[in-house]
Structure 1
Amino acid sequence: MGNRSLLNEFILLGIPQTEGLETVLLIIFSFIYLFTLLGNLLIFTAIISSSTLHTPMYFFLGLLSIFDMLFPSVTCPKMLIYLSGLSRAISYKGCAAQLFFYHLLGSTEGCLYSVMAYDRYVAICHPLRYMLIMKPGLCVGLVMVALLVGCLQATTLTSFTFHLTYCGPNQVDHFFCDIPAILPLACTDSSLAKRVGSINVGLLALVLLFSVCVSYAHIGIAILRIRSAEGRRKAFSTCSAHLTAILCAYGPVIIIYLQRTPNPLLGAVVQILNNIVSPMLNSLIYSLRNKEVKRSLERVFQIAVFSVQE
């Protein structure tokens, strides 16, 4: 890719219309990023340490917590560096790597949401056959397919974006390297890359969202057939956290990549919600609304306190 560009680096301009607020934003985003890492690490530790949580549902939840630690780590550290007053520059290869891993992790996590919806569908609509259907081999296979989709998506988008020649302006009007912010800097025609980016990201998001809707349509019908109110409440409680996380994840993606005229400020705000806030909310959603995770976390804290006292 380097032979096709005369630029060695890009300059990240950051979040539009926030001049003079760098210190405030640094404190806020540092807290959110740290809370995200610690919250998801605690969930992962709780799942690993409790044998009662070694089921397909919590296997996928543990993977989601890993992705929720990795996904903001693609963009947040660099943003915190320039908010602290250090360099805003990012190398050409660093920019390409940031775009690649952003779409790799984002697409894989989107696929994981669909897999988790299918898992809930099997658990509620076919409870007696749940462990027979959701065998370890199938769970691992579904995760591998999600990773493959994410890798293909990221490779395609990165190749089309950085196959272009960049020889003029190098100021990226965004806080990280993403397709809508990078393509306007190209010295050659970028219309094909724009179409590929919009179609690929938009289509994948819509297909995955449709698969989630199909799973939850069947789940909704099954819940309505449950006669007892307590049974309906328990069935709904197992799905409500997942549905909340999906709304936080898919909304920003569809808004950004399907808008005809990019709006830098709107794009930055939505991306912050998607990149930083949503992974933090997932740790809160799944820990506060899941009794098994809360009990496991309490045991982890008790063991930690006992170890300190010893």
Structure 2
Amino acid sequence: MNNATSVAEFLLLGLSRSLKVRLLLFGLFSTAYAMTLAGNAIILMLIWLDSRLHTPMYFFLSNLACVDICYTSSTVPQMLINLQNPSKPISLAGCALQMYVFLILATTECFLLAVMAYDRYIAVCHPLHYTSVMNKQVCINLAAATWTSGLLLPVAHIVLTWRLPFCGPNLIDHFFCEIPALLKLACADTHIVEKLTSVGCIFTLLFPITFIMMTYIRILTSILKIQSVQGQHKAFSTCASHMTVVILFYGAAIYMYMRPESSHSPGQDKIISLFYSVVIPLFNPVIYSLKNKEVKGAWIKILQKCEVGLFPPS
């Protein structure tokens, strides 16, 4: 930490200063948080319990569910604390830790979605070689690579950001310690950190989304070659959930981090941050449940077993 830093803690301005609005938001986001944890936990439970879901696709989906649980937990609890007590500060160490954990999980999800696109590409374009290409060891290596990338890539960003001096004020106009909001408080030139953010966006956003787009072009080409409409529909349905999640996540992230600096405003940044830190983790389990016959089948199977256990046949 730079010796010029005089701020010992930060105060998050949060989403509103009005007591009535804060109480309403607390109820809304605490419910959304509980539903997010429950939804992703159910996905993990179904994959673990149903042997039909022990495939590469669902292995990566279980990783996505873990990321989403941790991802929303890195921001929402602090936001709920802030809604209850807006005057409660967050320490420099707590702010730095929150930022690092958030970046780890965001980076991991970026690469994980790219890996899931590759899995769908092999399944649709090379179905006869799917089990040999996407074997257990390959899946483990790919998942490990996404988590390792998430752990390592944000390190330089965190180190440079927290070497900046923060001399006051200490009011972060956000509901968590996000980089754009924090850099506005630095009493030094932030040009290097901003450039590093741009480079980081190229590696974690542009490269993966370009890979995903190229992958889906190949998938679409292969689907169109299928003779039967039923076959086309079946092939497309295996990718629909992933495509929906990619559009939501990358759309919000690119808009947040790659739009011109002049178009940033605290209000817009908070709304976009809420979308990818609260809404997307909440809806991911719903998207995969509604658009996936195997997940719905596993859920029905579990419910039937519970019904038999509670009401055994006489």
- Code of the aligned partner of 1:269: I
TM-aligned CA distance change 1:4 to 1:287, over 3 Å: farther
Alignment of 1:1-310 (within 5 A): 1=1, 5-15=5-15, 20-85=20-85, 87-259=87-259, 260-261=261-262, 262-307=264-309
1:67–1:109 Cα contact (<8 Å) kept: yes
Distance 2:4 2:93 in 1: 12
1:202–1:258 Cα contact (<8 Å) kept: no
Distance 1:70 1:187 in 2: 32
The more displaced of 240-249 and 258-267 is 258-267
Q: Secondary structure at the match of 2:153?
A: helix
1:17–1:265 Cα contact (<8 Å) kept: no
- Code of the aligned partner of 1:267: D
Distance 1:302 1:224 in 2: 38
Offset of residue 23 of structure 1: 1.1
Distance 1:127 1:104 in 2: 33
Offset of residue 144 of structure 1: 1.4
Q: C-alpha deviations, 1:95-142, integer Å up to 9, x for none? A: 000100101001101100000000000000000000000011111111
| TM-score (structure 2 length as normaliser) | 0.94
Q: C-alpha deviations, 1:207-249, integer Å up to 9, x for none? A: 1100100110100000000000000000000101100000110
Distance 1:158 1:44 in 2: 31
Offset of residue 24 of structure 1: 1.1
| TM-score (structure 1 length as normaliser) | 0.95
- Code of the aligned partner of 2:48: I
Offset of residue 204 of structure 1: 2.0
Q: Secondary structure at the match of 1:241?
A: helix
TM-aligned CA distance change 1:160 to 1:308, over 3 Å: farther
TM-aligned CA distance change 1:223 to 1:288, over 3 Å: same
- Code of the aligned partner of 2:118: Y
Q: C-alpha deviations, 1:145-176, integer Å up to 9, x for none? A: 11122112221221121111112111000010
Offset of residue 4 of structure 1: 5.7
Q: What root-mean-square deviation, in Å, do the aligned CA atoms of Structure 1 and Structure 2 show?
A: 1.7
Q: Secondary structure at the match of 1:227?
A: coil
Distance 2:13 2:49 in 1: 43
Q: Secondary structure at the match of 2:74?
A: helix
Runs (4+) of structure 1 moved beyond 4 Å?
Answer: 16-20, 305-310
Distance 1:162 1:309 in 2: 59
Q: C-alpha deviations, 1:258-281, integer Å up to 9, x for none? A: 222221111100110000000111
1:2–1:92 Cα contact (<8 Å) kept: no
Q: Secondary structure at the match of 2:177?
A: coil
Gaps of 5+ in 2: none
The more displaced of 155-164 and 296-305 is 296-305
TM-aligned CA distance change 1:230 to 1:156, over 3 Å: same
- Code of the aligned partner of 1:225: K
Q: C-alpha deviations, 1:245-302, integer Å up to 9, x for none? A: 0011001111111222221111100110000000111010001111111111122233
1:43–1:283 Cα contact (<8 Å) kept: yes
1:202–1:254 Cα contact (<8 Å) kept: no
Q: Secondary structure at the match of 1:15?
A: coil
Offset of residue 2 of structure 1: 7.1
- Code of the aligned partner of 1:69: I
Gaps of 5+ in 1: none
